Chain A
């Protein structure tokens, strides 16, 4: 910033304090409640005067704990398994989206396929498609059309390897969910990365070519390292969507591939609204995004502004 910092009216600090409180308050509330028993949450003796317990977390994580918590008759919430599914799906789809997206963005910028405006408009149009619109076709296709014949070579092999009944289909597999997440995030990633790739000086690439590097070497060894900030921003956004998404995952997953959001919605079902456990699962789901926010807020802001302000 060009001008020197000046003393500001203390009222501004009050405004900032209030805003911070408003945006963090609900999260803190969830955090505190996740350490309370339901009785304490509902009894209304609010505030911080309570006896903290990790019982809610024990209930949530009972399938990966090394001991059996005393208060459970049997382990109903298989949160640990879902957490691993979420991690696998979110990480793989983030990596794939970044690689494919960076390549495409590079190709579009350097080889002038279409004008930048056309690309921006197209990506915006594709980005517009709400997940609910994809629900019916993805559900139908992944379950019925995107299948391999179980008597065929590849289908038979997959069946031998992973088991299951009937023709192996994309639905119910990690790959099925990953595929749709990659597709959903690609337009946005391409859009963001374009604005970073444009800034990479051509001379650097040409120098590498002179040294005999092929187009792919140039891309991986020269361009990618230079757009790291963009990649970081894109990665966080992709991860966020893949990690948080509920609707499509609930339509595509089966009992072995359930992700955490599905588990949370299921657990808020009919028969018992156990606030403590719900808050604990919510907290567990929120932890990775919170960590990202604290560690990489700069990249997140870059990612957010790259799309709109530059582009």
Chain B
């Protein structure tokens, strides 16, 4: 109830500022069809959309899909001459595919248009790393910011990785919150001994995308990378092996059945109290404090992603962009601008979403409602935009990496050998795609 009242007052405030000239007038009655993932952040978005319609008169119809299915759907829709979607949320790694195939609108022409661009938008307030990681293409390495880059989307639902830990368990045994990887790995295997039946750290590990993601989480802090600056695969370096070993140790000391955990199962294990730590995206915070889902309400503390040789947390989540084949591009831009504006970002944060602005992370109301927001804001400073390569061949490399790592976790393969295999196949893929043309 209280929440609704907050929304209403926000809405009233927005209405007041826009009352004299209504930039939305021309688009009243338009129905936008948007494609969003089934994802906690976008569930929060679903709750604030009625507010947008009330303020602007623009209707929004949402097609919500699980994100892998969403990507599949978008591949198809964006390939048509005229597409159904006016606005899409895309997974970070789809950016490469869409921009490369010329399927996303360059946003410059909208921000240039005085009738559309809101002067108080304050783009500088958007968190840099995410704008570069999710929104930019054409600059450095082709997929990040730079002098030759331009903007194709705006981050919406920015996630980074943080360490969640059970305050009660840590207190009971006098454990220190781990600062470094060494400490974390040691704790991960110590906890099952201290608390029989409890796993150390919940991580995803299931074959495919999940295992690859879990590996990437550890790769950057260890100082490793997927490719060097000449696009040579280096995931089989000593750092890569260390990251895979860390993953294996975490899974071995994890809860029962951990080798098959997808995101949902890993989170479920933590929510059920089956593990003492959780290292993954910030998006879970809302569920951890939801008594209907979670048995660990108010027992969880948050800390930064532990340091390896450096401090680096993931940049993940979604961006929103306008398909080149959309019907109502200008109205879609207005929705996009509204959602990512200071007001919109705050609304969605209060509804349990992941804000993408510095100001929202510092906001008093938001911090009062979600005390963990300050830690998350700090974590965002270490978010590494070059966390994983966002190139069209990534899908294939990622699939191979994920399968191989799952084999490492279940079949006691030699880690170095397994990663050498991935590197060799990745090189062939990159070669075929022309990445070595200029060497």
Contacts and interface: CB of A to CB of B under 8 A. Distances in A.
Would A and B touch once assembled, by the CB under 8 A criterion? Answer: yes
Interface stretch (A3-11, A212-220, A270-278): A270-278
Interface in A73-88: 73-74, 76
Given A73-B43, A167-B81, 18 more contacts: A42-B272, A73-B47, A74-B46, A76-B43, A76-B46, A165-B84, A165-B327, A166-B82, A171-B76, A250-B69, A266-B66, A266-B69, A269-B38, A269-B67, A269-B68, A271-B38, A271-B267, A272-B287
A93 to B, nearest CB: 23
A76 B64 contact: yes
A269 B76 CA distance: 21
Closest 9 CB pairs of A and B: A269-B66, A166-B82, A255-B63, A165-B82, A273-B264, A270-B263, A166-B80, A266-B66, A74-B46
A270 B69 contact: no
Contacts of B47: 73-74
A73 B80 CA distance: 35
Contacts of B325: 166
A212 B302 CA distance: 87
B421 interface: no
Interface string B216-231: 0000000000000000
Contacts of B83: 165-166
B210 to A, nearest CB: 9
A196 B411 CA distance: 53
A166 B272 CA distance: 48
Contacts of B292: 38, 71
B299 interface: no
Contacts of B293: 38, 272
Nearest to A75: B46
Nearest to B327: A165
B84 A254 contact: yes
Interface in B101-144: none
Contacts of B38: 76, 266, 269-271
Contacts of A266: 38, 65-66, 69
Contacts of B267: 271-272
A237 to B, nearest CB: 29
Contacts of B46: 74, 76
A46 B268 CA distance: 19
Contacts of B40: 271
B275 to A, nearest CB: 15
A199 B39 CA distance: 58
Interface in A139-173: 143, 164-167, 171
B264 A271 contact: yes
B287 A143 contact: no
A80 to B, nearest CB: 16
B265 interface: yes
A169 B205 CA distance: 40
Contacts of A255: 63
Contacts of B81: 166-167
B149 interface: no
Interface in A42-83: 42, 71, 73-74, 76
B192 interface: no
B82 A271 contact: no
- A interface SS class: loop
Contacts of B264: 269-273
A15 B287 CA distance: 47
Nearest to A250: B69
Contacts of A76: 38, 43, 46, 64
A270 B84 contact: no
Contacts of A171: 76
A143 B38 CA distance: 25
Interface string B289-311: 00011000000000000000000
Contact of A273 (B39, B84, B265): B265
B76 A143 contact: yes
B11 interface: no
Contacts of A272: 264, 267, 287, 293
Contacts of A271: 38-40, 263-264, 267, 283
A272 B263 CA distance: 9
B262 interface: yes
B428 to A, nearest CB: 23
B82 A270 contact: no
Nearest to A272: B264
Contacts of B66: 266, 269-270
Interface string A22-58: 0000000000000000100010000000000000000
A143 B77 CA distance: 10
Nearest to A139: B76
12 contacts: A42-B272, A73-B47, A76-B43, A143-B76, A164-B84, A166-B83, A269-B67, A270-B39, A271-B38, A271-B283, A272-B264, A272-B287
Interface string B238-277: 0000000000000000000000001111011000100000
**Which of B47, B69, B287 counts the most A-chain CB atoms under 10 A from its CB?**
B69
Contacts of B76: 143, 171
B170 to A, nearest CB: 24
A171 B76 CA distance: 10
Nearest to A42: B272
A197 to B, nearest CB: 42
Nearest to B287: A272
Contacts of A254: 73, 84
A143 B265 CA distance: 35
A270 B267 CA distance: 10
Contacts of A42: 272
A42 B272 CA distance: 9
A269 B264 CA distance: 8
Contacts of A164: 84
B29 to A, nearest CB: 16
Interface string A257-270: 00000000010011
Interface string B51-89: 000000000000111111100010010001111100000
B268 to A, nearest CB: 6
**Which of A71, A73, A167, A270 counts the most B-chain CB atoms under 10 A from its CB?**
A270
Contacts of B43: 73-74, 76
